[in-house]
Amino acid sequence: MKETELKKLTRVQLLEILLAQSRELDRLRSELQGIHKKLTWKEERISEAESVAGASIALNSFLETAQAAADQYLWNVRRICEEKAFAAGKTEEWNAALAEMDPGQPAAAENTGKLRDLKL
């Protein structure tokens, strides 16, 4: 409203306008408070997700390190067994037992037994 229009209003009309503005202000404050609560909740969820992502990355790194250590251990065991088979003159038996194993799968119990039976 323009200033000239406001000057033409009675006190009761001005008070009604003031009361309406006050109610609108209260409504907007309440809406803002609700939006603020939602924002806080979303920020907390994002923070939790970042924490979970960080933990997932750390766990993945740990598992990769553990897998590398396990691979190294198995490689060392195999190397030692190959050396013992060579020293005992059982290289052909060793190679035959290894050839029966699927290289993409863990050693089956029967193949592991065959390797053990070489008595290295």
Percent of the chain with pLDDT strictly greater than 90: 43
Kindly state whether residue 81 falls inside one of the protein's structural domains: no
Over range 105-113, report the average pLDDT: 52
Kindly state whether residue 108 falls inside one of the protein's structural domains: no
Kindly state whether residue 92 falls inside one of the protein's structural domains: no
Kindly state whether residue 99 falls inside one of the protein's structural domains: no
* DSSP class per residue in 44-91: HHHHHHHHHHHHHHHHHHHHHHHHHHHHHHHHHHHHHHHHHHHHHT-H
Q: How confident is the model at residue 95 (pLDDT cuts 50, 70, 90)?
A: confident
Would you say residue 97 has pLDDT above 80? Answer: no
Dihedral angle sign, alpha carbons of residues 21, 23, 28, 32: positive
Q: What is the pLDDT of residue 113?
A: 58
How many domains does the chain fold into?
Answer: 1
- Residue 18's domain comprises 3-64
Kindly state whether residue 21 falls inside one of the protein's structural domains: yes
Per-residue pLDDT reduced to its tens digit, 20-65: 999 999 999 999 999 999 999 999 999 988 898 889 999 999 999 9
